[in-house]
A and B are shown apart, each in its own frame.
Chain A
Amino acid sequence: MALKRLTSFFLTLPVVTALALGLSTGTFAKAAGGKTLVIALSSDSTGLDPETVENNDSGYVMSAIYDDLVAYKPGSTDVEYTGIASKVDISKDGLTYTFTIRPGIKFTDGTPCDADAVVKWLDRLLNKDNPNYYAKRPGIDSFVPDTFHNVDKWYKEGADQAVVHMTKPDGSFLNSLAMVWMGVTSPAAVEKYGLEFYKHPVGTGPFKLVEWVPNDHVTLEANKNYWKGAPKIDRIVYRVIPESTVRAIELMKGSIDVIADITPTDALTLEGKPGIHLIKQPGLMILGIALPTQTKPFDDVRVRQAFNYGVNKDTLCKFVFKGLATPMNAPMPPSQWGYDKTLPGYPYNPEKAKKLLADAGYPNGLDATLYIYPAQRSYNSAGGPAVGQAVQNDLKQIGVNLSLQQLEFGAFLAKTRSKEFSDLCLAGWSGDNGDPDNFLGALWRSNTLINTAHYSSKAFDDLLAKGLAATTVKDRVAIYKQAQKVLNDDAPWIYLNYATQMRAHSTKVHGMVLNPTAMFFGMDKVSKD
């Protein structure tokens, strides 16, 4: 009897299923027609309001939804006037930026994207009394303070111009405005959705949001009226596939078209596989070891230079990073405009290193401690321990006994960013806006949070200030080259390498250009066989 009851229970389900299928007169959903590009992400977006998030997975989606006032040149961080503004006039004192808004652009909700809309967008970001002020939602992460910290006025001028006025010149302003995190939002949609706008994004970009199923996928549909011309694909589906190996298997099978983030292990697996194209280029990232420049013996530049000569960056990149990194010769990566390729860096030379140590008064070497974190970072695909051990081994050859101290990443940051910190630590950086000041200033300006070397040089700080005050790219490049030379000579870091930036896609996909900021810009140009 009991068995019958259980059996009937388990048999009921398929019977009900069959019955329901047989009796149902509902319509069946059909596969939507047209070309779909499937992009695999490792995590879900956390919000699609560009000024309130900073994580890449959200940025990947938003880069197809929004346009900025200015844009990066494809595949670089050079700024060009191919965004919403057709022209930008900068006053001679570098304090006033006048944006001429391109006529005829509309947001995907039909609202005109004119000078009024741009001023309303600025007001939402800068006016705390605006009812839709961007920072009203708690827990947001924003580049607005970094981008607009010098801005005191914003207003419309004439019929088609939006003006931004600053109290202090900021040469990095246009580069910041080109970031995906500065997408221009529809004022009508902001008004309509208020604090919920991050779930209902509306921009002027080549695609618009159709569906967002949390933790599963985001579907975008082509904006057929896109002002640069209709996109070549009909929709983009961003699928969340957390496991990197699974993303690689899906790409090999052909069920996805693009892997946004690829691990070095999977890159090596996918490289050379038929039907798969692996984009590899120097990323907007640097990795090194911060030396405590204010603490003995590292206050002596000869010791810092000895440590630089004592590490073999070529073998580190070749073996520890499996060829997916390039030895560093300058304190900015080659993908950053202003990079000085003529700087010699510190080629491996243990003899020279020993001599410098002896000259500094340490003929028998010295002891030091290096703080490391356990996991991999975007700028350190080998992970903290592997890099630490390789450097430890190299420095042993010049008489330096380096002991390693590993801390969980949060504790590592807390320890190494304190003012009292006086040891060596791993240091790295991924560029945000593709401006030289975002590398040189963020990492080595006196008394900044991330300057874990506690480097302080008046000459260098003055150059940084000059760089921000200059209004032409040409002038700024010249200034930042001088700054790189100062940093190279002062050696506040052991300069290790530039990480390789990678993206994998099916060979059926064409026109995919990998921007150094990793965002999916120019998706209107991408096509699929």
Chain B
Amino acid sequence: MQAVILAAGEGRRLEPLTDVRPKPMLPIANRPLLEHVVEAVADAGIEELVLVVGYKRERIQDYFGDGHDWGVDIEYAVQSKQLGGAHALLQAEPLVDGEFVVLNGDRIIESRMVSQLVEAVGGDDDVLMTVTPVDEPSNYGVVELDGQRVVGLTEKPPARAVTSNIINAGVYAFGAEIFEAIRATETTGELAIPAVLQPLVADRRVRAVPFHGMWLDVSYLWDLLSVNAAVLDQQGSAVARSARVHDRATVTGTVAIGADTRIRPGATVLQGTALGENVNVGANAVVANAVVLPDATIEPGCVVRDCIVGENARIGPNTTVEGGRADVVIDETFYADVRLGGVFGDNAALGGAVTAEPGTVVGTGATVESGSVLAGHVGAGAEVRRG
């Protein structure tokens, strides 16, 4: 059995972090989302993986290579234009043979979900679809079931039209016929897998495989913090051997600390924090519920809470990101009362004593003058001067 993992997408809603890396490479507990998926697949006993890559694919290829470190063989198929999941899957056609599993590279799942699906393969069904209950079904593809038969599939219905809390988990088992079905589906742009499945659902040829367990989706920046904390909680703390935590620094709660990261005297790192490789946390800084990417520097005296710090970003001394809840606008959509202290894009450089109000999003490579007060959006490469 082979697995095809779709990892070509860009993840625009996660800007600025996805300016330089594809969404599947966003870190959860210091490991890319995609690595959690690859591991789940490998743990389910599947050894041949096809990764469909596209946007910023070098990052993925550089990280996973040929899969040896995960005990699997990885081959790559390239989707050069991001034209949806079904189109991405089509790129894998020359590399698959017989029945195979399809997953998204940016959703954290349990390996049990994959093994359960693999066991269910067989019988006369064309397609197996894993379904799972969620709290807010209207963000996903809502599934109507008749026994094990999928009889309805509605993408992101308005809340009032939701008929069940069971959704399509985006994990499928297909045979080679799916490629014909994709080619037969008319499209004027992006083509998603659910659109291809509609006629099959209508013919009652899709069987549901129900799953109850961990299924975590990172749609928005604040999800990165909550999913990170949830996964840390589940997996427990992990501190790299080459990390250096000073005797007079405090590290409590479940945290992940990457290789060669240094935590200076008096610094405090609290619950829900993942510090990537080669991060510096300066003396007396406080970092809580934060995702800090590799090579970032948090200078002495900072308070960084509910915050995402991009790769190689610098948070100047005594900067305060107080954390908490805020209203945030992403891609012209308004999201009320989300927990997001701030996001600092890769290579952003803050001077000293900057204050960032909750919900601040600073773009890639922006520079901020000492003493500035930040709120709302700061564009990529912008220079913020103290007003």
Bind each other = no
